[in-house]
Structures are given as C-alpha cells and as structure tokens.
Amino acid sequence: MNTIDPDAVRRLLVRGTNWVGDAVMSVPALREIRRIFSRARISLLVRPWVRDVYSAVDFVDEVVEFDKAGIHGGFAGRVRLITRLRRGEFDFAILLQNAFEAAVYPWLARISRRAGYARDGRGLLLTHAIRIDPGVRAVHQAYYYLGILSGLGLFPPKSWQAGQRLSAAVGVRQSDCDSARDLLKARGVHEGEILIGLNPGASYGGAKRWLSDRYAAAADLLADKFGARILILGAPTDRTIAYEVSQMMTHTPLTLAGETSLGQLMGLLKACRLLITNDSGPMHLAAALDVPQVAIFGSSSEIATGPLSSHAEVLKHPVDCSPCFLRECPIDFRCMTGITTEMVFAAACRMMSKPGLAGG
C-alpha cells in the first residue's frame, strides 16, 4: 500500500455515513481529515437526510447529496452521480461508509486512490484497503472512523488508549434557529420560556425505548418543578409514540415529532435547556450542539454509542443480558424497567442545576 502524502492531495472526496447518529460520531474523524489534509478542497458525499448535520461546519468545503430517490435514481441517475464525481477531479477518496456501493462509485469515477475498510467484499475496489483493528470494537464508535486514518499511517494507532476526549461539535444555521423560533412562536411558546425536550422514540425497535408512561411522568415532574414547556421531538416514525406520551401527561406538551426538517430539529434542540432521550440520532445531535441531556440506554451500549458530550448523564440499569442489540426484548425488558421515573427526574434536576448550561 502506497504512502499517502497529505500535502499532495488537492481534491479529496469523503463518503460520509448514512444515518444521523453515525454522521455525528464520524465528526472527530472529519475534523482530523481537515487537519491532516489542510491544503485540500474537501467534498463530503452524503444522503439527503443527513446533509443538515453539516450545514454549519468548518471542516468540509462542500456537501454533495447522493439522492437515490431523486436526481440519482435509476441507471441514468447513477451515471449522473459518476459524472459529477469525475468532474470533481478528485485525487483521493476516503470511505467512512462501509457498504460495497460506497467503493463502487469512486472506482467508476476513476478516482485514482481510494481508502476504506476492506469489508463487504469491496477490498479489490480499494487502493488502500484498511484492516479493522479488533480493539475498536471495545471502545466508542468514533474510533472506528478514526481507525481508517490510523490504517493510512496518518493518525496514531490505538488512539483510544491516550484517553483523549473526542469532540463531535457542529453548528446550526442561523436560518434553522430562526425557523425553530418561528415555529415555537406560532405554537404559542413565549420568549424566555424554559424548554425541556423529550425524545421518546428510537430507530431499530422498541428495545431502545424507555417506557412511555415514565417519560410522561418525568416530564410532568419537570414541568411542575421548573415551570418548563415540554417539547416532544422526533422523526416521522416517532409520531405514534410521541402522541402516546402526550396523552399520558397531565401538562399539555408541544408535540413536534415528525413535523420538522432536520435543520429545524437542530434549531429546536439548541433552544432546549435539557433533552431527555433514548439512544438515537437526536441524542447525538444534542451532544454535537452542546445541549445538556439525560441519555437512557437499554439494549445498546453506552460505551460504543454514548453521547460525545461533557454535558450528558447516561442512565443504564446493569443486567446480565445487556447490551443485547436486539430490536425487541424477548423476556421482561428488565434493562429499561429498572430505570425508574425518579432516577430520570433526579438526573434531569442535576443537569438543570449546573451553571452556565442554559439553552437558547
């Protein structure tokens, strides 16, 4: 494998990850790519639904959408994407995404050097095929993406052993903050109200979701104690559970799950004094936006995918079968039932009492 000289790279393509949480967890690697390839113009290729994660960042020069449902749909659309990449005259591609497809397009676009993990049968399409260090499976997923740079000899190997705190910080466009503020005003929220967000949903099944009645009870306690307005946030797929939580509350929350763009959601999160959340994309966004949060973990691993934030408190009830990474619990859901309303309320009060963490 030929050595990469960062100073010789003029145009760099990075294939980003496909999901919001993964996009945030790849931010430390993207920041290192910017530092290492300081002379290069960096283009980030991502799916449309994660584009807003990078709307106000300083570590890429251009975000390019790969829209399979639109302009890049079908055979003609794929040709259009390949042509777009060829016109970019990239001399190096780094693939953070694992899929076989992620390696095909840079290869077809004749990008001369292509680096990524040698998995999913794509090793022959890579000029720099990186082996996965087994140690990354025992640490935070952010190191998985940094491991590609380590495999290229551009970042210290086994960097997690240094114990450094990783930053996933991103910004949010002023236009998205303004849009979120307008949305709140239109729904009767007054300037200066304390906002506490709930994110009771999570992709990948119910095993990642704390109980709806406990979300409702904790939210009512916080509304009483702090005079806060409760916002229920989430994706379109979270509408049902958001409605369920709202119907169980004594206070009337503002339910916005599925009613915002990702950029607006980021603006709403930034306006919150606190977020109570499951392991999910909004959890990672809150961490990236430096929003205080209480993150509730059940079937998944807080070591692997916990929020990259010093303003987060993770709650997990230790049981022998967790993390199981199952979509649904096949037994009694003990990992989540062991986390009480009182535990979440107490953690939320601790976060609310910390100085200098006001939202907005």
Quick check: helix, strand or coil at residue 73? Answer: coil
* Whole-number pLDDT of residue 357: 57
DSSP H helices in the chain: 20-25, 27-36, 74-87, 100-108, 142-151, 174-186, 212-226, 239-248, 262-271, 281-288, 302-305, 334-337, 341-353
Count of structural domains, the chain: 2
- Range(s) of the domain holding residue 248: 174-353
Give yes or no: residues 192 and 323 share one domain. yes
pLDDT for residue 327 is more than 60: yes
Give yes or no: residues 157 and 215 share one domain. no
Mean pLDDT of 10-36: 97
Give yes or no: residues 199 and 308 share one domain. yes
* Residue-wise burial string across 235-251, b where 16 or more C-beta atoms lie within 10 A, e elsewhere: beebbebbeebbeebee
Q: What is the pLDDT of residues 253-312, one digit of tens each?
A: 999 999 999 999 999 999 999 999 999 999 999 999 999 999 999 999 999 999 999 999
* Whole-number pLDDT of residue 204: 84
pLDDT for residue 247 is more than 90: yes
Spatial contact of 268 and 197, defined as CB atoms under 8 Å apart: yes
Residue 289 amino acid letter: L
Phi, psi of 44 (to 5 degrees): -110, 120
Give yes or no: residues 202 and 114 share one domain. no
For every residue of 140-204, DSSP letters joined together read -THHHHHHHHHHTTSS-TTGGGG-PPP-------HHHHHHHHHHHHHTTPPTT--EEEEE---SS
Give yes or no: residues 243 and 135 share one domain. no
Give yes or no: residues 187 and 282 share one domain. yes
Question: Which CATH number goes with the domain that contains 232?
Answer: 3.40.50.2000
Query: Which of 142, 162, 182 is a domain's end point?
Result: 162
Mean pLDDT of 37-53: 97
- Asked, for residue 359, whether it belongs to a domain, the answer is no
270's CB contacts (< 8 A; 6+ apart) are 172, 177, 180, 289, 291, 359, 360
Give yes or no: residues 274 and 137 share one domain. no
Spatial contact of 214 and 340, defined as CB atoms under 8 Å apart: yes
| Residue 94 to residue 98: CA distance in whole angstroms | 11
Give yes or no: residues 215 and 279 share one domain. yes
Q: What is the pLDDT of residues 211-221, one digit of tens each?
A: 999 999 999 99
Give yes or no: residues 213 and 109 share one domain. no
Give yes or no: residues 259 and 308 share one domain. yes
Does pTM surpass 0.85?
yes
